Structures are given as structure tokens and as C-alpha cells.
A and B are shown apart, each in its own frame.
Chain A
Amino acid sequence: MEELVNLFHGFAVALQPFNIMVMVLGIVLGVIIGVLPGLGGANGVAILLPLTFSMPPTSAIIMLSCIYWGALFGGAITSILFNIPGEPWSVATTFDGYPMAQQGKAGEALTAAFTSSFVGALFAVIMITLVAPLVASFALQFGPAEKFAVYFLAFCSFVGLSKEPPFKTIAAMMMGFALAAVGLDSITGQLRLTFGVTHLLNGFDFLIAVIGLFGIGEILLTMEEGLAFRGGKAKIDLKVVLQTWKGLPRYWLTMLRSCFIGCWMGITPAGATPASFMSYGIAKRVSKNGNNFGKGEIEGVIAPETAAHAAGTAALLPMLSLGVPGSPTAAVLLGGLLIWGLQPGPMLFVEQKEFVWGLIASMYLGNLFGLIIVLTCVPIFAAILRVPFSIIAPLILVLCAIGAYSVHSSTFDVMLMLVFGVVGYLLKKCNYPLAPLVLAIVLGDKAEEAFRQSLLGSQGSLGIFFSNPLVSTIMVLGLIALFWSVIQEGITRLRGTRTAAA
């Protein structure tokens, strides 16, 4: 009960006029940041951090966390409209969101994405409100072995999704792993696969690969099929929001499952990106409409968006209660807390009640305001698709270039982006799946790092991955997911040889 009293006090803080203003400003800035590829949540918050330096800490963190919500919302917009994920966690949203937009259902896709984001965040905030201390201690259980198990599970639940030939999937995924390995090996502190090229010191950034493979690749495919941008007939009417809402309750189970996946991944802290992939993968397998995934199934938008937003929100909990960031953006927010003289950690909830509960209250309000703001803009976003291709295409290309550049302030990355674009076009035409490649780039080096940290700790014994109930459970879940797909593949291959024989 004390929590609820604190929370209402928090609402009183967050609802001060100045804080409401700050909240709305933060959301709008965040949406802009989320839409512009390359700026991203972490960079965006870092860039705007000094602006908040002269505000009181509570207002400052409200603004920054609202930028974060805004970026989470905004990431979905370009994914759905142009197949360009503004944020890593919206990659999975492109799989069904973009096909929907092509079929003239951009409004529905955007509404579903925003609404499920809100649901995910709300679920996570409620969890933070009610069970914060308990959850924080759960996060402490996660050493390297447990983390590896989580990555393993994320991979296993996603692999084997694609209907592409298995060896193409393997080739694509391994290319992703190889690209992720370039640069500094974090365990030995040694450079690898850089061949003395300075530009490769940083490895291949995920965002550059994604902007190229998805964004540029898609523009090239569109060019090949003639100049028409296929989403031209998008409805631009606010009614689409209400109509979509009517259909959403049907997917409550998907949403609930995605909420749990998201919260779990946010706390552990594996982050929003694996959460969105995993949630998409599981939804695809469990859903009756599983076969429609990838062709514009609304459930394929709901699942990753719910999970990503739940994870993004839940990631703030370990940051506040342990001082360990659950995501890169949370890492920057953490820096912000320290600058304002607030020490995140076990004592924050005790010593800085006003701050903590003001922040939690602003999570409720910020997400609500965010939802209202982005939903009213759905028609505007959808209308962008009506702009003729020969105007929008160069603008998208320039924006992609800016995005690729601003990731590391390097023009080399911009060239790399174009190379990835051509590669993406070729791979897509040759029926190689891009999703496993992207997943491998995001998680590859983290999984390898966790694996090798575990082996260092166990002095080389693989038994560490089954050394306690927690890690064993996750590993077994992962193995089940993996073998499930192997069985599926086996059946399809059997069928394949039979038809080939006949």
C-alpha cells in the first residue's frame, strides 16, 4: 500500500505544469530521434543530456525518459513505412509492418504498433510499481552463463523460422556472426579480422548494416519493379485507429506473452532487440496464422512491438535499483543520474523517494501522452506514402546517408551502407533470409563474449551451462526450441525429396 501512496505522490510531481510541458517536449523530440535513422535512442538521449543539466533532476529525468519513450514509438514509423528500422528493436516490426503498408494498410500497422507498444510499456511499469525489489534480486542471478543461455534461447526461438533453404539460412546467419566478430575481441583485447584497416576497428555497426540491407535494398527492389511506391493508396483517416482497435483484443494472448518475454529480457538485461526477435519467433510458431507471418499479418507487428517496449521499460528497473543499465539508452540515463548527483543503486528507492516515484509516474503519463500524440499523427505518417517515389526516394537515401554517418561520424560507414544495400538486394533476390543475418550481427559478439566469460570462470568446463536450475532451465528451453525447428525442417526436407523424386 505504501507503494500506491508513493505513486500518487509521484503523479502529483509529474503533473506539475512544467513537468507536463517537459514530458510533451521529450516525447516529440524522441519521436523525431526515433524516426531519423542513426540517431537512435542512446545517441539521442546522450545528445540531449546536457540540455537538461539546468533543470531539477526530477524534471530532467522525466524529459530524458520521455525522449526514450518517444524514440521507442518513433522507431516503428520508418520500419513500417519504408522498411528502414530507425532502431535495432524495430527490425522485427518490418517483417510484417512493411508488407502491410505495401498492401495499403499502413494506418492499421502503425496503430497496432503504437498501441501494442503502449500495452507493453504499461505492463512493465505496473511490474516495476509492484514488484521492483523482487525483480531486482532476480537480475542479480544472471552471471555470464545465464546470459549466454538467454542469448541461446533468443537464437533458438528465432532460427528455423524462415522458409528459405536451410543452407542459405546458415550461410546468412554465419555471415552475420562473422561481421559481428570484426574489430576488437573483448575477451583477449586483441584486434581481429581488421586486416590493418583503421575503419574496421569499430567492426560493422548493426545500424549501418540494417539501413543498407533493409532500407537501400528495398529502394533498389522498388526501382526494379518500376517507379511506383506500392503503399500509395493508404487511407488517411483517424477512423482507422478505432477500427484497428476493435480487432486488437483478439490478440490478447500474444500481447500477454510478449509482455512477459519483454519484461524478462529487459531485466536480465539482454535488452529490447532480442526480446522483439524472440517474441516474433514464438508468436509465429504458436499462432494459427503463423504461415501468414512475413506477408502482412497484424499479429507479426503486435508481438515484437509489445515485447520491445516492455523490455525497454523494464530495462530501467535494473538501472535504478542496481545501477546496471539494461540497454545502451539506459546506460546513458545512468550517466545522467550520476551527473545530477543521484546515485542509482539499492539506496535510491529509500533516499530519493520523490525522484523515483516521480519517474515511475512519468512512465505512466509519458506513455499515455506518447500514445495520444503518435496516434493522432497516424494519418500524417501514412500520408507520407503518397509522396511520389522520385521525390521520396532521394530524400530517404540522403536520410539513410546521414543516419549511417552519424552513428560513428565516419564517411566510410556511408559507403559501407551502400555496399550493404547492394548486397541486400542480391541476397533478397537470391532468396537468402536477411533476418538471421541481422540477428547474428546484433547478438553474435554478445553471445560469444558471454560464452567465453563463462568458460573463463569455469576454467574451460562446458558443465557451467547446466550448473544450476536457472541456467539449465533456460538452456533446455533453448534446446527444445532448436530441435523443434530441426524436426520441422526434417519434415519439410522429407517432403521436398519426395516431390523431387516424383
Chain B
Amino acid sequence: MRSSVLRVALVTVAAFCTSGIASAAWEPVRPVEFIVPAGTGGGADQMARTIQGIVTKHSLMKQPMVVINKSGGAGGEGFLDVKSAANNPHKIIITLSNLFTTPLATGIPFNWKDLTPVAMLALDEFVLWVNADKPYKTVKDYVDAVKKAPPGSMKMGGTGSKQEDQIITVAVEKAISSKFTYIPYKGGGEVAVQLVGNHVDSTVNNPIEAVAQWRGGKLRPLCVFDGKPMAYDEPIVDGKGWKDIPTCKSQGLDMEYLMLRGIFMGPKATKDHVDYYIELFKKVRATPEWQDFMKSGAFNTTFLTGADYAKWVEGEEKRHEVLMKEAGFLSTGN
């Protein structure tokens, strides 16, 4: 009799313990909305949908993950949506550089501090590309040609206006003290094709946007806007791989730029919520699919969380402010 009472008591205590443990580690109880502040088919969208596919395939989450595009106002729509979802831990957002550039250029009431940083997944590289039929083999060839041409007659194609591509263009202009005419397009793929068709003279496409044309012998990479060459040494064309592209700095173009591919949450997320997603993304990063994806886009795979991540974002914000101010891209209030 006594023993059975004891047993019941023990079981009850044990049950409490396990439930206590379960409630300590937060888990989503509803489908998680994964906001993409860009259109379908773009770089951020591809990454989000790859993650969604990985999460589904490896059953990394008990609840489904749902990708939603909110691209209005250069992504402002998506940021404001997450900002207003203060108490909703079932909403995360993937960001690109528009995290900084959109509020600065458009004046929408948003700052990255309105969100809770979760993790940096990767950094996207930028490469200076020219048409392979043109005689420019090195950065110097191209820079000389730009300097020789009347200012503004050389055309630089890029994605969006007053965003990363144009910021880089302005920095390059400053470094070589000449002028391009910057022509904004809607998407990176289109930019690369415009370069193939010789409608622009150069671009600063991300690797993933232009690699197909490089392999097809239509485009030529001149340099990468990073502190060190990219890590992927697999040959892509004529025995040359990403690793063989020199840094722009080593070629006399002093500019470094990497684009954030990071995850943020709503402003009132608790540590439990953030920890859950950090663990989730650690698992995502460990899958072979993710590694293939990183390789295909020659991404810089730096992974940061917590204070390191926040510090990095803060530094980038200051840098963007300076760069955009110098370029005259700041919103004049509207």
C-alpha cells in the first residue's frame, strides 16, 4: 500500500520534472513565418526557401516553416511587419543589406535595433565582372579604360537603387576618381545578362548571379570586394576557380564589401526564443544541402550569434551611414 503511494508520488514528481524541463526549452507551437524582405526568385528568397526545404527534409522542426515575401518599399514592408509583431515568436526574417540601406534611403521609421538579432548565416561576396569579349584582363586594364573614357560614359549595371551595388559603384568611383553611369535593374540575373548583351560595361554581381555566364565563357571576373580571396578552389572554367580571383584591394581598388545574410526576430523575443532558432540554424548549417548551397554561391560562411553578431551589425550600420552619406543617398525626408 505504502509503496504504491510512494510510486505514485515519484511518478508525479518525475512528470513535473520532465514537464519543467520541456517548458524551459521553448519550441514553436504554431507554423513559423519566415519573412523575406525581397521578391520571389532573388538571393534572399533562394536562401530562405533552401532553408525551408532543408528544415522540411530533415524534419528539424515539429511545426512547418512558411516563407512569405514582403518586398514592398525595398523590403521596408517586411521589416515593419516584423517590427510590429513584437510578441510573436513565430516570425523570423532573413535580411540583406537593405536592413541598413532601405531605412536610410527611404526614411521609413525603422532601424535594425527594432529587431532582435538571432544569427548571421553567411556573407555574400561581390565580384567585379566585365564581358569576356572585352580586352580587359585585369582590374588595371579596366580602370585605365574607364579613366580614359569621358566621365559617365561607362555604364555600371546593378540591382536596385541606393542599395549595395550602387554603394560599391560609388566607392569604386571614389577610388579611381572617375565616374560611371549607374543603371539599376530589378534582379541580379537580369544584370548579368545585360552585361553579356553588352548593354552595360561592368557589374558587381554576387557570385551566384553570374557564375553560369562565367562558366559559359561570357563573363570575366576581375576582382572580389573582400579582404581575402574566396575559399572555394574547385575549378570553374579553364582551371580557374573562385579562389583565383584576386582581391580588389591587391589590384589597387581599395574597397571591401560583404552583404549580410542574417536572421532577426521581433523586438520582444526572449533568450529562449533566440536560442531555439540559433540551435535550429546550427542544425541547418550542418546539412550537406546547405554546404552545397554555400559552395554554389561561393558564400563566405562566417557564423555569428549573440553579442558578436550585434556588434558586427552595429559596425556595418555605421559604415553604411558613412558610405551612403558620402554618396548622397540619404533620404531628404518625404
Whether the Cβ atoms of A202 and B193 lie closer than 8 Å is no
Enumerate chain B residues within 8 angstroms of A126, measured Cβ to Cβ.
none
A496 within 8 A of B: no
Shortest C-beta distance, A94 to chain B (Å), equals 25
Enumerate chain B residues within 8 angstroms of A429, measured Cβ to Cβ.
none
Whether the Cβ atoms of B53 and A53 lie closer than 8 Å is yes
Q: A186-B184, A332-B41, A346-B217 are in contact. Are A50 and B193 (CB under 8 A)?
A: no
Interface size of A by Cβ–Cβ distance < 8 Å? 56
B306 within 8 A of A: no
Provide the B212-245 mask, 1 if CB < 8 A to any CB of A, else 0: 1101111000000000000000000000000000
The closest CB in chain A to the CB of B197 belongs to: A140
B46 within 8 A of A: yes
Whole-angstrom CA separation of A201 from B166 in the bound complex: 21
Provide the A184-206 mask, 1 if CB < 8 A to any CB of B, else 0: 11111111101000100111000
Interface window among A5-13, A149-157, A286-294, A333-341: A333-341
Whether the Cβ atoms of B193 and A324 lie closer than 8 Å is yes
Give 8 CB contacts A-B under 8 Å: A46-B67, A50-B49, A201-B76, A331-B40, A339-B50, A456-B183, A457-B155, A457-B183
Enumerate chain A residues within 8 angstroms of B54, measured Cβ to Cβ.
53
Whether the Cβ atoms of A191 and B106 lie closer than 8 Å is yes
Shortest C-beta distance, B119 to chain A (Å), equals 20
Q: A143-B194, A341-B296 are in contact. Are A202 and B73 (CB under 8 A)?
A: yes
Enumerate chain B residues within 8 angstroms of A144, measured Cβ to Cβ.
183, 199
Name B257-302 residues within 8 Å CB distance of A.
289, 292-293, 296-297
Whether the Cβ atoms of A46 and B49 lie closer than 8 Å is yes
Q: Could you tell me which B residues sit within 8 Å of A by CB distance?
A: 39-42, 45-46, 49-50, 52-54, 56-57, 67-74, 76-77, 80, 105-108, 152-153, 155, 160-163, 166, 181-187, 189-190, 192-194, 196-197, 199-200, 208, 211-213, 215-218, 289, 292-293, 296-297, 329, 331, 334
Shortest C-beta distance, A147 to chain B (Å), equals 10
Whether the Cβ atoms of B161 and A347 lie closer than 8 Å is no
Shortest C-beta distance, A222 to chain B (Å), equals 33
Can you name 10 extra interface pairs (CB under 8 A) apart from A198-B76, A332-B41, A343-B212? A46-B40, A53-B289, A188-B162, A189-B329, A323-B192, A324-B190, A335-B46, A346-B212, A456-B182, A459-B181
Provide the A38-81 mask, 1 if CB < 8 A to any CB of B, else 0: 00001100110111011000000000000000000000000000
Of listed A142, A144, A318, A339, residue having the most chain B CB within 10 A: A339
Whether the Cβ atoms of B184 and A189 lie closer than 8 Å is yes
Enumerate chain A residues within 8 angstroms of B185, measured Cβ to Cβ.
453
Enumerate chain B residues within 8 angstroms of A187, measured Cβ to Cβ.
161, 184
Whole-angstrom CA separation of A408 from B108 in the bound complex: 19
Enumerate chain B residues within 8 angstroms of A140, measured Cβ to Cβ.
193, 196-197
Whole-angstrom CA separation of A11 from B106 in the bound complex: 52
A345 within 8 A of B: yes
Whether the Cβ atoms of A335 and B41 lie closer than 8 Å is yes
Whether the Cβ atoms of A201 and B77 lie closer than 8 Å is yes
Enumerate chain B residues within 8 angstroms of A436, measured Cβ to Cβ.
none
A463 within 8 A of B: no
Top-9 shortest CB links A-B: A345-B212, A202-B72, A346-B216, A331-B41, A201-B73, A189-B161, A143-B199, A53-B53, A189-B162
A215 within 8 A of B: no
Shortest C-beta distance, A33 to chain B (Å), equals 14
Whole-angstrom CA separation of A203 from B74 in the bound complex: 11
Whole-angstrom CA separation of A306 from B202 in the bound complex: 38
Whether the Cβ atoms of B334 and A323 lie closer than 8 Å is no
Whole-angstrom CA separation of A488 from B40 in the bound complex: 42
Partner of A186, one of B69, B161, B181: B161
Shortest C-beta distance, B230 to chain A (Å), equals 17
Shortest C-beta distance, A214 to chain B (Å), equals 23
Whether the Cβ atoms of A322 and B161 lie closer than 8 Å is no
Whether the Cβ atoms of B292 and A341 lie closer than 8 Å is yes
A221 within 8 A of B: no
The closest CB in chain B to the CB of A344 belongs to: B212
The closest CB in chain B to the CB of A51 belongs to: B56
Whether the Cβ atoms of A338 and B74 lie closer than 8 Å is no
Whether the Cβ atoms of B215 and A347 lie closer than 8 Å is yes
Partner of A334, one of B41, B57, B163, B293: B41
Whole-angstrom CA separation of A324 from B194 in the bound complex: 10
Whole-angstrom CA separation of A345 from B200 in the bound complex: 19
Whether the Cβ atoms of B77 and A189 lie closer than 8 Å is no
Whether the Cβ atoms of B161 and A141 lie closer than 8 Å is no
Whole-angstrom CA separation of A453 from B185 in the bound complex: 8
A409 within 8 A of B: yes
Enumerate chain B residues within 8 angstroms of A188, measured Cβ to Cβ.
161-162
A325 within 8 A of B: yes
Whether the Cβ atoms of A50 and B40 lie closer than 8 Å is no
Whether the Cβ atoms of B40 and A323 lie closer than 8 Å is no
Name A320-366 residues within 8 Å CB distance of B.
322-325, 328, 331-332, 334-335, 338-339, 341, 343-348
The closest CB in chain A to the CB of B200 belongs to: A457
Shortest C-beta distance, A16 to chain B (Å), equals 22
